[in-house]
C-alpha cells in the first residue's frame, strides 16, 4: 500500500509563552520549519487573537504546516502534512520543538492517501508531459 503523504499531529507543551504570543516569531518559525523539512513555500497567513494567541498556516507545494497557540497554557497545536519523498516532516517537527522551547510533546503520525495503485509508483503530483521542440 502506497501513501501520498505523511501527516504529523504535534502537541507542544511547556512552551515559552512570550514566543507563543509573538506573531512575527511564530510566522518566522513556521516558515523556517518548512525550509528545514525541504519544502517549497507557496504562501503563508497568520492571525493574532485578542487578548492572546496566534493561528497560522504555511502553504507548501507539498501540502501545509499549521499552528494554533495558547500562550496562557504554554501550549501549541501543530499540523505538518507533507507529500512526496523529498520532504521530511520530522525535521520541521524538531525545529519547532526547539524554537518553541517545548518541555514535552506528543505526536501522531498518519499516512494520508493510502491508495492501491497496481503497476506504477504512486506520485503526489502528476508527471509533467515532455513536449518535443519543433
Give CA–CA dist 129/44, Å, rounded: 29
Long-range contacts of 47-55 (CB under 8 A, 24+ apart): 47/23, 48/23, 52/21, 53/20, 53/21, 54/20, 54/21, 54/22, 54/23, 54/26
DSSP 129: P
Of 7, 15, 83, 124, the active-site residue reads: 83
Tell me how crowded residue 119 is: count the other CB atoms within 10 A of its CB: 4
State the Cα–Cα distance between residues 118 and 12, nearest whole angstrom: 39
Active site residue 68: yes
Catalytic residue, from 63, 64, 102, 124: name it: 63
**Catalytic (active site) residue 52:** no
Question: Which is catalytic among the residues 44, 55, 66, 68?
Answer: 68
| Residues marked as catalytic | 63, 68, 83
Amino acid at each position: 500500500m502506497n501513501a501520498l503523504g505523511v501527516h504529523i499531529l504535534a502537541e507542544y507543551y511547556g512552551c515559552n509563552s512570550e514566543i507563543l504570543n509573538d506573531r512575527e516569531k511564530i510566522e518566522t518559525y513556521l516558515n523556517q520549519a518548512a525550509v528545514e523539512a525541504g519544502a517549497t513555500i507557496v504562501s503563508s497567513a497568520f492571525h493574532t487573537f485578542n487578548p492572546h494567541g496566534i493561528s497560522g498556516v504555511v502553504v507548501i507545494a507539498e501540502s501545509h504546516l499549521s499552528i494554533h497557540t495558547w500562550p496562557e497554557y504554554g501550549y501549541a497545536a501543530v499540523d505538518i502534512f507533507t507529500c512526496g519523498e523529498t520532504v521530511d516532516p520530522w525535521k520541521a517537527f524538531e525545529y519547532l520543538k526547539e524554537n518553541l522551547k517545548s518541555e514535552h510533546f506528543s505526536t501522531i503520525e498518519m499516512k494520508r492517501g493510502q491508495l492501491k495503485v497496481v503497476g506504477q509508483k504512486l506520485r503526489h503530483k502528476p508527471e509533467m508531459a515532455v513536449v518535443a521542440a519543433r
